[in-house]
Amino acid sequence: MGPEATADLYLRIIRATNVKRDQDHPRVIIYSNSKVPDRTTAILEAGPSPLPELIRAGKRLEEAGADFIIIPCNTAHYFIDQLQKELRVPILNMIRLSAGKAEESYPKVRKAGLLASDGTVKSGLYRSAYGVAGIDIMEPSPERQTEVMKAIYQYIKAGNLIDGGLLLHGVAKDLVAAGAEMIICGCTEVSLVLKEGDLTVPILDPLQILAEAAVAEALQKEHR
Protein backbone atom coordinates (compact mmCIF):
# COMPACT_ATOMS: atom_id res chain seq x y z
CA MET A 1 0.00 0.00 0.00
CA GLY A 2 1.03 3.64 0.10
CA PRO A 3 4.03 3.87 2.45
CA GLU A 4 3.14 7.39 3.62
CA ALA A 5 -0.42 6.34 4.43
CA THR A 6 0.99 3.36 6.34
CA ALA A 7 3.32 5.61 8.33
CA ASP A 8 0.48 8.05 8.98
CA LEU A 9 -1.75 5.26 10.29
CA TYR A 10 0.95 4.10 12.70
CA LEU A 11 1.39 7.63 14.04
CA ARG A 12 -2.36 7.88 14.53
CA ILE A 13 -2.32 4.59 16.47
CA ILE A 14 0.40 5.97 18.73
CA ARG A 15 -1.49 9.22 19.33
CA ALA A 16 -4.80 7.43 19.90
CA THR A 17 -3.33 5.41 22.76
CA ASN A 18 -3.65 6.84 26.27
CA VAL A 19 -0.29 5.97 27.82
CA LYS A 20 2.11 6.98 30.55
CA ARG A 21 5.09 4.94 29.34
CA ASP A 22 6.32 3.04 26.28
CA GLN A 23 5.11 -0.27 27.71
CA ASP A 24 1.49 0.93 27.65
CA HIS A 25 1.39 0.95 23.84
CA PRO A 26 -0.09 -2.07 22.05
CA ARG A 27 2.17 -4.35 20.05
CA VAL A 28 2.07 -3.44 16.37
CA ILE A 29 3.41 -5.46 13.43
CA ILE A 30 3.84 -3.44 10.24
CA TYR A 31 4.25 -5.06 6.85
CA SER A 32 4.66 -2.26 4.32
CA ASN A 33 4.44 -3.68 0.82
CA SER A 34 4.43 -0.99 -1.86
CA LYS A 35 4.63 -3.64 -4.59
CA VAL A 36 0.94 -4.55 -4.33
CA PRO A 37 -0.59 -3.91 -7.80
CA ASP A 38 -2.64 -0.73 -8.02
CA ARG A 39 -6.13 -1.40 -6.71
CA THR A 40 -7.94 1.16 -8.87
CA THR A 41 -6.31 -0.15 -12.06
CA ALA A 42 -7.39 -3.67 -11.13
CA ILE A 43 -11.01 -2.61 -10.62
CA LEU A 44 -11.38 -0.27 -13.60
CA GLU A 45 -9.10 -1.71 -16.25
CA ALA A 46 -8.85 -5.40 -15.43
CA GLY A 47 -5.22 -4.86 -14.46
CA PRO A 48 -3.24 -7.31 -12.31
CA SER A 49 -5.23 -8.31 -9.23
CA PRO A 50 -3.76 -7.21 -5.90
CA LEU A 51 -5.45 -10.15 -4.17
CA PRO A 52 -2.53 -12.66 -4.36
CA GLU A 53 -0.17 -10.07 -2.87
CA LEU A 54 -2.73 -9.10 -0.23
CA ILE A 55 -3.15 -12.74 0.76
CA ARG A 56 0.62 -13.18 0.95
CA ALA A 57 0.90 -10.09 3.15
CA GLY A 58 -1.95 -11.22 5.39
CA LYS A 59 -0.41 -14.64 5.92
CA ARG A 60 2.93 -13.07 6.80
CA LEU A 61 1.21 -10.97 9.44
CA GLU A 62 -0.55 -14.06 10.78
CA GLU A 63 2.76 -15.92 10.95
CA ALA A 64 4.27 -12.98 12.82
CA GLY A 65 1.57 -13.29 15.48
CA ALA A 66 -1.03 -10.68 14.51
CA ASP A 67 -4.41 -11.06 16.27
CA PHE A 68 -6.19 -8.96 13.64
CA ILE A 69 -5.34 -6.98 10.51
CA ILE A 70 -5.96 -3.41 9.38
CA ILE A 71 -5.44 -2.10 5.85
CA PRO A 72 -4.67 1.62 5.25
CA CYS A 73 -6.21 1.63 1.77
CA ASN A 74 -9.87 2.25 1.03
CA THR A 75 -9.81 0.76 -2.46
CA ALA A 76 -8.27 -2.47 -1.17
CA HIS A 77 -11.49 -3.02 0.77
CA TYR A 78 -13.07 -4.02 -2.53
CA PHE A 79 -11.15 -7.28 -2.09
CA ILE A 80 -11.61 -7.62 1.67
CA ASP A 81 -14.25 -10.37 1.65
CA GLN A 82 -12.12 -12.55 -0.64
CA LEU A 83 -9.06 -11.81 1.45
CA GLN A 84 -10.83 -12.65 4.71
CA LYS A 85 -11.70 -16.12 3.41
CA GLU A 86 -7.97 -16.88 3.10
CA LEU A 87 -7.00 -15.73 6.60
CA ARG A 88 -7.60 -17.03 10.11
CA VAL A 89 -7.57 -13.67 11.89
CA PRO A 90 -10.22 -10.97 11.38
CA ILE A 91 -9.75 -7.85 9.28
CA LEU A 92 -11.19 -4.60 10.65
CA ASN A 93 -13.28 -2.99 7.90
CA MET A 94 -12.44 0.70 7.78
CA ILE A 95 -15.42 1.65 5.61
CA ARG A 96 -18.04 -0.10 7.74
CA LEU A 97 -16.46 1.28 10.92
CA SER A 98 -16.63 4.80 9.53
CA ALA A 99 -20.28 4.38 8.51
CA GLY A 100 -21.10 3.35 12.06
CA LYS A 101 -19.21 6.33 13.42
CA ALA A 102 -21.01 8.70 11.05
CA GLU A 103 -24.40 7.38 12.14
CA GLU A 104 -23.44 7.66 15.82
CA SER A 105 -21.69 11.05 15.80
CA TYR A 106 -23.71 12.87 13.11
CA PRO A 107 -27.27 11.50 13.35
CA LYS A 108 -28.76 14.46 11.44
CA VAL A 109 -26.47 14.14 8.41
CA ARG A 110 -28.24 12.69 5.38
CA LYS A 111 -25.84 13.67 2.57
CA ALA A 112 -22.08 13.10 2.63
CA GLY A 113 -19.59 14.08 -0.05
CA LEU A 114 -17.00 11.45 -0.96
CA LEU A 115 -13.41 12.16 -1.99
CA ALA A 116 -11.98 8.85 -3.18
CA SER A 117 -10.20 7.10 -6.02
CA ASP A 118 -12.09 6.07 -9.14
CA GLY A 119 -11.85 2.46 -7.99
CA THR A 120 -13.47 3.17 -4.65
CA VAL A 121 -16.18 5.29 -6.26
CA LYS A 122 -17.00 2.64 -8.87
CA SER A 123 -16.98 -0.16 -6.30
CA GLY A 124 -19.90 1.41 -4.44
CA LEU A 125 -18.37 0.42 -1.10
CA TYR A 126 -19.27 3.72 0.55
CA ARG A 127 -22.72 3.93 -1.04
CA SER A 128 -23.52 0.48 0.33
CA ALA A 129 -22.13 0.93 3.85
CA TYR A 130 -23.49 4.44 4.35
CA GLY A 131 -26.82 3.57 2.79
CA VAL A 132 -27.38 1.17 5.68
CA ALA A 133 -26.79 4.13 8.00
CA GLY A 134 -29.33 6.24 6.11
CA ILE A 135 -26.72 8.52 4.54
CA ASP A 136 -26.66 9.28 0.81
CA ILE A 137 -23.24 9.53 -0.81
CA MET A 138 -22.55 12.48 -3.11
CA GLU A 139 -19.73 12.07 -5.61
CA PRO A 140 -17.88 14.78 -7.57
CA SER A 141 -18.83 15.47 -11.18
CA PRO A 142 -16.75 13.53 -13.74
CA GLU A 143 -14.62 16.63 -14.35
CA ARG A 144 -14.00 17.18 -10.64
CA GLN A 145 -13.37 13.46 -10.08
CA THR A 146 -10.54 13.76 -12.62
CA GLU A 147 -9.05 16.42 -10.35
CA VAL A 148 -9.40 14.12 -7.34
CA MET A 149 -7.43 11.44 -9.18
CA LYS A 150 -4.81 13.99 -10.21
CA ALA A 151 -4.45 15.12 -6.61
CA ILE A 152 -4.04 11.54 -5.38
CA TYR A 153 -1.84 10.03 -8.08
CA GLN A 154 0.15 12.92 -9.55
CA TYR A 155 0.62 14.98 -6.42
CA ILE A 156 0.13 13.29 -3.05
CA LYS A 157 1.56 9.86 -3.94
CA ALA A 158 4.56 11.73 -5.40
CA GLY A 159 5.06 13.65 -2.16
CA ASN A 160 3.49 16.94 -3.25
CA LEU A 161 0.93 17.38 -0.49
CA ILE A 162 0.51 21.13 -1.03
CA ASP A 163 -0.79 21.05 -4.60
CA GLY A 164 -2.74 17.86 -3.93
CA GLY A 165 -4.36 19.47 -0.93
CA LEU A 166 -5.33 22.60 -2.85
CA LEU A 167 -7.08 20.53 -5.52
CA LEU A 168 -8.96 18.41 -3.00
CA HIS A 169 -10.06 21.40 -0.94
CA GLY A 170 -11.57 22.91 -4.07
CA VAL A 171 -13.51 19.74 -4.91
CA ALA A 172 -14.67 19.40 -1.30
CA LYS A 173 -16.01 22.97 -1.29
CA ASP A 174 -17.95 22.24 -4.47
CA LEU A 175 -19.56 19.22 -2.82
CA VAL A 176 -20.52 21.32 0.20
CA ALA A 177 -22.01 23.98 -2.09
CA ALA A 178 -24.04 21.22 -3.77
CA GLY A 179 -25.54 20.14 -0.45
CA ALA A 180 -23.05 17.81 1.24
CA GLU A 181 -23.43 18.03 5.03
CA MET A 182 -20.19 16.15 5.67
CA ILE A 183 -17.07 15.25 3.68
CA ILE A 184 -15.56 11.76 3.82
CA CYS A 185 -11.85 11.20 3.29
CA GLY A 186 -12.44 8.08 1.18
CA CYS A 187 -8.78 7.61 0.28
CA THR A 188 -5.87 7.43 2.70
CA GLU A 189 -4.00 9.99 0.58
CA VAL A 190 -6.93 12.38 1.09
CA SER A 191 -6.57 11.82 4.83
CA LEU A 192 -3.05 13.24 4.61
CA VAL A 193 -4.21 16.68 3.45
CA LEU A 194 -7.82 17.22 4.55
CA LYS A 195 -8.32 17.92 8.26
CA GLU A 196 -11.21 18.74 10.59
CA GLY A 197 -11.79 22.50 10.59
CA ASP A 198 -10.75 22.99 6.96
CA LEU A 199 -14.37 23.26 5.82
CA THR A 200 -17.69 24.58 7.09
CA VAL A 201 -18.97 21.00 7.53
CA PRO A 202 -17.52 18.06 9.49
CA ILE A 203 -14.76 16.00 7.89
CA LEU A 204 -15.02 12.28 8.58
CA ASP A 205 -11.68 10.50 8.39
CA PRO A 206 -12.00 6.70 8.15
CA LEU A 207 -8.24 6.34 8.68
CA GLN A 208 -8.52 7.99 12.10
CA ILE A 209 -11.55 5.86 12.95
CA LEU A 210 -9.59 2.75 11.96
CA ALA A 211 -6.66 3.79 14.16
CA GLU A 212 -8.90 4.28 17.18
CA ALA A 213 -10.70 0.98 16.58
CA ALA A 214 -7.37 -0.83 16.24
CA VAL A 215 -6.12 0.57 19.55
CA ALA A 216 -9.32 -0.46 21.33
CA GLU A 217 -9.19 -3.96 19.83
CA ALA A 218 -5.49 -4.45 20.60
CA LEU A 219 -5.75 -3.29 24.21
CA GLN A 220 -8.83 -5.43 24.76
CA LYS A 221 -6.98 -8.51 23.51
CA GLU A 222 -3.95 -7.72 25.69
CA HIS A 223 -6.14 -7.56 28.80
CA ARG A 224 -7.93 -10.86 28.18
Provide the residue-wise pLDDT of the chain in tens; the chain has 224 residues. Answer: 778 889 999 999 999 999 889 998 999 999 998 889 889 899 888 788 999 999 999 999 999 999 999 999 999 999 999 999 999 999 999 999 999 999 999 999 999 999 999 999 999 999 999 999 999 999 999 999 999 999 999 999 999 999 999 999 999 999 999 999 999 999 999 999 999 999 999 999 999 999 999 999 998 887 76
- The catalytic residue among 13, 73, 176, 210 is 73
- Domain 3-93+209-222 class? alpha beta
Query: What residues does each domain of the chain span?
Result: 3-93+209-222, 94-207
Q: Is 185 assigned a catalytic role?
A: no
Fold of the domain spanning 94-207: Rossmann fold (3.40.50)
pTM for this predicted structure: 0.92
- Write out the DSSP string of 46-101: ----SHHHHHHHHHHHHHTT-SSB--S-SGGGGGHHHHHHT-SS-B--HHHHHHHH
**Of 97, 172, 187, 214, catalytic:** 187
